[in-house]
Structures are given as structure tokens and as C-alpha cells.
Amino acid sequence: MSERIFGVGLLLLASGGLWFGWDLHAPVEYEPVGPRAFPLLVYALLGLCSLALVFARGKPVRWAPPPVLLRVGGLFAIVALYAFLFDKLGFILATGLMVVPVSRCFGGTWKQAVFSGAGLAVGLFILFDRLLDVALPAGLWLKPVLG
Amino acid sequence: METLTHLLSGFAVAGTPTNLLIALAGCFLGTVIGLLPGLGPINGVAILLPIAFAMKLPPESALILLAAVYAGCEYGGRISAILINVPGDAGAVMTTLDGFPMAKKGLAGPALSISAVASFTGSLVATIGIVAFAPALANWAMAFGPAEYFALMVLALSCLGGLVGDSLPKALIACLLGLALACVGIDSNSGVYRYTFDLLHLSDGIPFIVVVIGLFAVSELLLMLESHHADTQAASLSGRLLFNLQEFMLARWTIVRSAVAGFFIGVLPGAGASIASAMTYATERRLAGKDHTFGAGDVRGVAAPEAANNASAYGSLIPMLTLGVPGSGTTAVMIGALTLYNITPGPSLFQDQPIIVWSLIASLFIANIMLLAMNIPLIRLFVKFLDIPNWLLVPGIAAVSLVGVYAVHGTAFDLVLGCLLGGFGYLLRVMNFPMAPLILGFVLGDMMEQNLRRALSISGGELDILYASPLTIGLWLAAAAMLIGPRLLRLVERRRAVALVSA
């Protein structure tokens, strides 16, 4: 069943792609194949394949039990939030805040979670930003301190 | 002779102290990434590539790093396969069958050392194979026109699509999603913005690293949470570390046969390390006749898949280097790595940038020797990494992955996009969509479109240029056969099995 629903979703994606692709015109056409042919071909084939997925007799998908699925959703939200706050809070603060709940998710005690949060945040910042020359956002609060 | 001169100049570049140090670091990191369950060569290369780029390593050093990581991952996968019965990467699945039983019998040391020798032999055979065949193949491929290239890329996609995943529509959908993602961004021929939805960050297209980290690393974290509760007891590494003469004599021809077979399987697009190791394991089991303990801890059962696994991983570098068309997920990622440095792999690479190609090949030789040295005497050090608890490891992977994405453009937009793709990738993976065709489609998308349009410009819009030459016809036929063949074969076998049961 999940496969069929997903197939319908893909079908919508394919129609969206065709809808937006149809209006792609080059201002000056100097080659026989313009910018829209390839995407239209891809989305048309995608539509056909998702039809096959909707109507084929697929094996049932084995989803994780609901409590685990809820935690997966939570983990996804944490990582997405981390991505969003990465440059706003700066690497050290954002990483510290991300590590603690993720660490708890994977069986760490509160003590272990807090220690790995602090350790990873500071350790990775020193490793990448200072030793390996990969510039990371310090965040507004830390900039004046580091100079 | 010319090849040897090139190879020597490659060694001159790869042998500088800095590059040797980079190779050593790459081997070490690669082995660690390979042995950690859930992290394989794709993640390893994808995480380290942007970091190498941000460190402003010159292209040849960055490639040496990636090659060493790639080689190291192939060694590392077997460590967790043997000790905790969890394959570190896809190629090591077969190694668990005899590796873990050996470890339970107290023979973890011999299992690890014989598989290290097998890995070494496989890699060495394949590297020699690259030196022998790659320049000639590149020369031949110089004659390819855009129509041939287009057909060749369709072949690469259909090989992978035909072999992986549990159904054909799913494999094709994965390919097409990759191609669709590749269409995002400004069209280089006409300057038209495609599927950017007026977002400035999308005008250059979705960065390659964002797609790889999202689909592989972020979705992997989510999957790790699912399987987190299945705790496994590690076998201890006690007793002798080295195999004895009797074990070696039993396995030596297995190693050589599997290495050669693995190399040729690896050269074929689509058939990667997992197929090579499964095929050689089955062959060796059959060749062993009645006198074997396969499945209960036979040294040959560890040696065969490991030799094949490494040989095919190296063999798959051939289509990538000579044709510019990758045949596996990891080599697709390496193509992405090259494009970050504005290097376009393909037949002309051997002529335009010989230093880069040959230093890469030379570094494979060097990395291989380093890895053999690391994996026999220093094995206890690597085993320690299996003790890192998930509560420290997983958040660490999350942070390092996002650092990699951030290192390319320095925008949070890329990070958020990567996470969204990660969520999508999780759904795909739960529903058994194969991921390798997706990444291959994404990498090949732009090249495919360019070659298609170039071909049709030459012919003035006539479609028959796509199947005009004998070579293109051959490629199309091969693509169709690869797409349908494996599944047809499976269907026939199942029918026969059903007929036998009912008879």
C-alpha cells in the first residue's frame, strides 16, 4: 500500500515537472533541441514508471514499529533544525545543542550526552577551523572572543 | 614502454613526502570509515572530498586522498564483517558467512590476516589490470562521438538498473529521479533557468555534495536509529594473529582466481563489488567439491569475496577514468569529485592531464602496500574503533557530514536542502529503492543531455543519428539486454524451481 501511495506522489511530481518544463523556451533558438526536451523526456518516463509502481503488485513495505518511527521523525527534525541554525548560532553552539539529544536517542546517558556534546563541538571546531583550515561559522557571540 | 614512463612520473608525484603523508592519512581514515557499520566508501569519499577541497589541496593530492580512502574502505569492511558479523560495506556481506564463524572458533586473527592478503592480491591484480588496459581503452574511446556517448551512458544506467533493487520500475524511478535532480539549475546552452523556482541558491544547480551527503549520510543516520537496538556481541581477537602455512596453501589459488574474476566483473558498468564477491564465493564453494567447511568457517570463504571485492572496486575505476562514465555509486561520487576541480574524466584525460591520472594509479600501488602493513601488524588498533559507542559516533558523523556540505559554498541553504533530501532518501531506502542508480543518474544527467543535444545538432534534429553507427546499435542492444536479461533469468529460474517442487 505504501508503495502505491508513494507512486501517486511520484506521479504528482512528474506532472509538476512536465507542467513547469513545458514553458521552458530559449529566447534565441540556435540548436534543434532546446532546454525543455530532456527534462520533459525524463519527467514523462518518471510518470510512466510511477504508474507501473501504482499498479504493480509490490511486496508490502516493512516500516519500523510506530514508537521507533516517531523517534526517526524526531531525529530528522533535530538534524534539520541543526542545518538551519548551523551558521546562525555558529558551529560550536549549534553542534553542542544537536549532539545532546542525538546522543540520548542512541542510548547515551545524560552525562555522556552532555560530555560528547561539549567535546565534539569544541574538538571538531578546533580540528577543522584551526588545524585543517576549513572555515566554520563561529557565530556572532564567539567572534569577538576569537578576534 | 610509454606506459612505464608515465607510471614512473606518476610515482614521482605520488611519492613526494606530502603526498605520501596524505595517502597514509587516507588509508587510515578509509579503513576506519570502512569498518564502521553503515559508513561505506560513498560516505567516506563524499565527506572527505569537500574537506579536501576547502583545505585547498592541489587536485592530484586530493585525488590521492580519495583513492587511498576508497582503497582503505575496501579493507575496512571486512573487519566488522569478521568480528561482529555486520558487513562494514556492501562488498563485505559475503565475508560474514565464513568470517564470523571463524572468529567464533577463536580464529579471528587468521581470518583477518588471510583476508588482508586476499584484499592486497585483489587490489594488486586490478591495479596492474588498470595499467595494462586503461590507456588502450582510452585510445579506442577517443573515436566516440556524442551519439555513442549518449548510448554508452544509457547502457551504464541500465546495467545498474537491471542488476540492483527488487523491481525494475523502482530501479528506473531511481535513475530518473537522479536525472531530474540534474536538470535543476541554469541551462548552459541557452541560459534558461530550469526548476529553480526563483531561488538564487539553485541557479547553479543542486551541488553534488548536497545530494550525496543528503541521500547517503543523513538517510543513513535515520536508518541507524531503526537498527540501533540490535546489539551485537563482538568476537574477541585473541590467539594467533597470522594465518599458518596450511591455511595459506588452501587459499592461495582461490585468492588468485577470485582476484582476476573480480577485476573483470568490476570493469563492467553496474556489476560492482557486491556482485563480484557473491559470484566468486559461489564459484569457490562449487570448486571445493565435497571437502569443505564453507559457511562454518572455511578460509577460502573469507579469501574469495575479499579478493574479488577489492579487485572489482579497483576495476570499476577503468570505465570512470577512460570513458568518463562511472559504473558504480562510489565511482560516480569520484566523478563528482573531479568536476569540483574542473577536471572532466574521459578519454582525453590520459592525454590532457597525464600527471593526474598516473599519480592516481601510482597512489593505488602505494596505498595498497600501506594498507597491507596497517592491516596485519596494526590490526588491534583498528579493532578498537569498533568499541566507539553509537551515542558518540552518530552525532559525530552528523556534525562532520554537515561540515562537509558547508565547506563547499558556506550557505545554510545547502545544509537544509541536504537534510530534506536525506528525509526523502530515508523513505526511498525503506521502500527498497536502490540508491546507486539515483546517484549515477544525477552525475550523468548533465553529460547525457549535452551529448544528446550535440548529437542532434550534428544531424540537424534527425533522430536516426542515435542509432546510425554499428557501435551505437551494439550499445543499445546491450542496454536492452542488461535491463531485461537479469530479471528474465531470475523469472525463468523461479519457474523452473516451482516446476520442480510441483513435479
- The reply to whether A51 and A99 lie within a common domain is no
Query: For B97-146, what is the HEC assignment?
Result: HHHHHHHHCCCHHHHHHHHHHHHHHHHHHHHHHHHHHHHHHHHHHCCCCH
B453: closest chain A residue by CA: A33
Give the pLDDT confidence score for residue A10 in this predicted structure. 92
**Has residue A127 been placed in a domain?**
yes
- The reply to whether A49 and A81 lie within a common domain is no
- The reply to whether A139 and A103 lie within a common domain is yes
Nearest to A135 by CA among B29, B57, B51: B51
In angstroms, what separates the C-alpha of A143 from chain B's closest C-alpha?
17
Which residues in chain A touch residue B55, judged by CB atoms under 8 angstroms apart?
132-134
Average pLDDT of the segment spanning B375-391: 84
Residues paired with B185 in a beta bridge: B194
- The reply to whether A103 and A51 lie within a common domain is no
Give the pLDDT confidence score for residue B105 in this predicted structure. 84
Which residues in chain A touch residue B456, judged by CB atoms under 8 angstroms apart?
31-33
Asked if residue B383 lies in contact with residue B32, where contact means CB atoms within 8 angstroms, the answer is no
The three-point CA angle B112-B114-B120 to 5° equals 100
3-state helix, strand, coil in chain B (%, to 5): 75, 0, 25
Average pLDDT of the segment spanning A76-83: 93
Asked if residue B160 lies in contact with residue B437, where contact means CB atoms within 8 angstroms, the answer is yes
Nearest to B302 by CA among B243, B382, B261: B243
pLDDT in tens, B45-100: 888 887 888 888 888 888 889 889 988 988 888 888 888 887 777 777 788 888 88
- The reply to whether A73 and A124 lie within a common domain is yes
In angstroms, what separates the C-alpha of B463 from chain A's closest C-alpha?
11
Helices A110-125 & B390-409 angle (0-180, nearest 10): 30
Which residues in chain A touch residue B457, judged by CB atoms under 8 angstroms apart?
31-33
B228: closest chain A residue by CA: A106
Q: What is the band of B346 on the pLDDT scale with cuts at 50, 70, 90?
A: confident
CA dihedral A60, A61, A62, A64 (to 10 degrees): -140
Nearest to B480 by CA among B203, B207, B198, B161: B161
**Has residue A61 been placed in a domain?**
no
**Has residue A60 been placed in a domain?**
no
Give the pLDDT confidence score for residue A98 in this predicted structure. 93
Lowest mean per-residue pLDDT among A37-46, B166-175, B359-368: B166-175
In angstroms, what separates the C-alpha of B169 from chain A's closest C-alpha?
5
**A38 vs B56, B423, B449: nearest CB:** B449
Among A30, A55, A80, the domain boundary falls at A55
Cα torsion angle, B9, B10, B11, B14, sign: positive
For B192, the domain range is 2-502
Backbone dihedral region of B160: left (phi > 0), alpha (psi from -120 to 50 degrees) or beta? Answer: alpha
Q: What is the band of A48 on the pLDDT scale with cuts at 50, 70, 90?
A: very high
Give the pLDDT confidence score for residue A76 in this predicted structure. 93
pLDDT at B250 over 90: no
Asked if residue B135 lies in contact with residue B114, where contact means CB atoms within 8 angstroms, the answer is no
**Has residue A134 been placed in a domain?**
yes
- The reply to whether A139 and A80 lie within a common domain is yes
Backbone dihedral region of A107: left (phi > 0), alpha (psi from -120 to 50 degrees) or beta? Answer: left
Domains of chain B: total:
1
Give the pLDDT confidence score for residue B501 in this predicted structure. 62
Q: Do A103 and B432 touch (CB under 8 A)?
A: no
Asked if residue A135 lies in contact with residue B54, where contact means CB atoms within 8 angstroms, the answer is yes
Count the helices and strands in chain B (H runs, E runs): 22, 2
Give the pLDDT confidence score for residue B230 in this predicted structure. 52
**Has residue A35 been placed in a domain?**
yes
How high does pLDDT run on average in chain A? 86
Domains of chain A: total:
2
For A130, the domain range is 66-146
Average pLDDT of the segment spanning A119-140: 85
Who wins on pLDDT, B238 or B306? B306
- The reply to whether A76 and A134 lie within a common domain is yes
In angstroms, what separates the C-alpha of B249 from chain A's closest C-alpha?
45
In sequence order, what DSSP letters do the residues of B389-458 get, joined into one string? -HHHHHHHHHHHHHHHHHHHH--HHHHHHHHHHHHHHHHHHHTT--SHHHHHHHHHHHHHHHHHHHHHHH
Cβ of B76: how many Cβ atoms within 10 Å? 34
- The reply to whether A49 and A83 lie within a common domain is no
Average pLDDT of the segment spanning B204-214: 86
Q: Do A133 and B412 touch (CB under 8 A)?
A: no
Give the ipTM of the model, two decimals please: 0.90
Asked if residue B52 lies in contact with residue B97, where contact means CB atoms within 8 angstroms, the answer is no
Give the pLDDT confidence score for residue B365 in this predicted structure. 92
- The reply to whether A104 and A129 lie within a common domain is yes
Average pLDDT of the segment spanning B333-349: 80
Backbone dihedral region of B205: left (phi > 0), alpha (psi from -120 to 50 degrees) or beta? Answer: left
* Whole-angstrom distance, CA of residue B25 vs CA of residue B30: 8
Give the pLDDT confidence score for residue B26 in this predicted structure. 92
Lowest mean per-residue pLDDT among A36-40, A59-63, A93-97, B309-313: A59-63
**Has residue A120 been placed in a domain?**
yes
**B391 vs A45, A95, A103: nearest CB:** A103
Nearest to A34 by CA among B212, B282, B461: B461
- The reply to whether A10 and A48 lie within a common domain is yes
**Has residue A41 been placed in a domain?**
yes
Lowest mean per-residue pLDDT among B265-279, B363-377, B385-399: B265-279
**B167 vs A56, A113, A116: nearest CB:** A56
Q: What is the C-alpha R_g of chain A?
A: 24
**Has residue A106 been placed in a domain?**
yes
- Percent of chain A at pLDDT > 90 equals 38
pLDDT at A53 over 70: yes
Which residues in chain A touch residue B166, judged by CB atoms under 8 angstroms apart?
59
Q: How many CB pairs under 8 A join A and B?
A: 203
Give the pLDDT confidence score for residue B165 in this predicted structure. 66
In angstroms, what separates the C-alpha of B394 from chain A's closest C-alpha?
7
- The reply to whether A43 and A76 lie within a common domain is no
Q: What is the band of B228 on the pLDDT scale with cuts at 50, 70, 90?
A: low
- The reply to whether A87 and A37 lie within a common domain is no
Who wins on pLDDT, B219 or B239? B219
